[in-house]
Amino acid sequence: MLKLETELQGKQARFGDIYPILLERNITLCGNWEYDEAMFDGVLSKDGEETIYLRIPFDVISGMLEDPETQIVFGQPFVLKHVLNIGLDHEGDDLLATTGLNQFQSPEEKDGPIRRKSHWEEEGERVVQGIVESFPLLDERHIG
């Protein structure tokens, strides 16, 4: 995992204002979320079984997640590499495992080693900077 130094960390936004801007960049709400914290997730690179993701964690300050009025505060973005498990999932559902179609298999490596670290740090920071620049209403207050 590569932690990114960006201007986004600590800034606040309304979910309904920021989410369309993220969707324009193919950054979506990560599927594993809680009502008080979650992550936005975007693919920086996909090459065969390896995928490099940009993840932007955030906490809910007020409201309920996915409500447009919900106020969120961003955590520190990071870059992460997953290596997919293409083979059979021997611990999963037998029917799905025998067909090899279990889309819910765990990655072979959730945080695989990243080659060209400085390249991916720069790429992640570039994407995050584009978000910051396209959304001038981000509130710079930090939550104490």
Q: Where are the domains of the chain?
A: 2-84+119-134
Per-residue pLDDT band for 50 (boundaries 50, 70, 90) equals confident
Is 120 or 124 the better-scoring residue by pLDDT? 124
Architecture of domain 2-84+119-134: 2-Layer Sandwich (3.30)
pTM confidence score: 0.75
Give the pLDDT of residue 109.
44
- The C-alpha atoms of residue 46 and residue 24 are separated, in whole angstroms, by 18
- The C-alpha atoms of residue 106 and residue 115 are separated, in whole angstroms, by 22
Angle in degrees, CA 137, 138, 140, rounded to 5: 125
pLDDT over 80 (residue 75): yes
pLDDT over 60 (residue 101): no
- The C-alpha atoms of residue 22 and residue 20 are separated, in whole angstroms, by 5
